[in-house]
Structure 1
Amino acid sequence: MQTAKQEVEQLLKNLPDDSSYEDIHYHLYVLEKIKRGQRSIAEERGVSHEQAKQRLSRWLKL
Structure 2
Amino acid sequence: MSSETIPDRILESLQNLPSDATYDDAIERLVFLAKIDAGLAELDAGEGIPHDQVKRRLGL
Q: Which category describes the TM-score, using the shorter chain as reference length? A: 0.7 to 0.9
- Do structure 1's residue 19 and structure 2's residue 17 form an aligned pair? no
Select 2:41's aligned residue among 33, 36, 39: 39
In structure 1, list runs of 5 or more residues that go unmatched. none
TM-score, length-normalised on structure 2? 0.86
Give the AA of the match of 2:21.
S
Specify which structure has the bigger relative contact order, considering alpha-carbon pairs within 8 angstroms and separated by 6 or more residues: 2
The aligned residue for residue 8 of structure 2 is 6
In structure 2, list runs of 5 or more residues that go unmatched. none
Measure, in 2, the Cα distance between the counterparts of 1:55 and 1:19. Answer: 36
More moved, 46-55 vs 21-30? 46-55
Identity %: 34
Report which of the two structures shows the higher radius of gyration computed on alpha carbons: 1
The ranges of structure 1 where at least 4 consecutive aligned residues each deviate by more than 4 angstroms after the TM superposition are none
After TM superposition, give the deviation of residue 7 of structure 1 in Å: 0.6
Normalized per residue, the structure richer in helix is 1
TM-score, length-normalised on structure 1? 0.84
Measure, in 1, the Cα distance between the counterparts of 2:22 and 2:35. Answer: 20
Q: CA RMSD in A?
A: 1.1
Count of matched residue pairs: 58
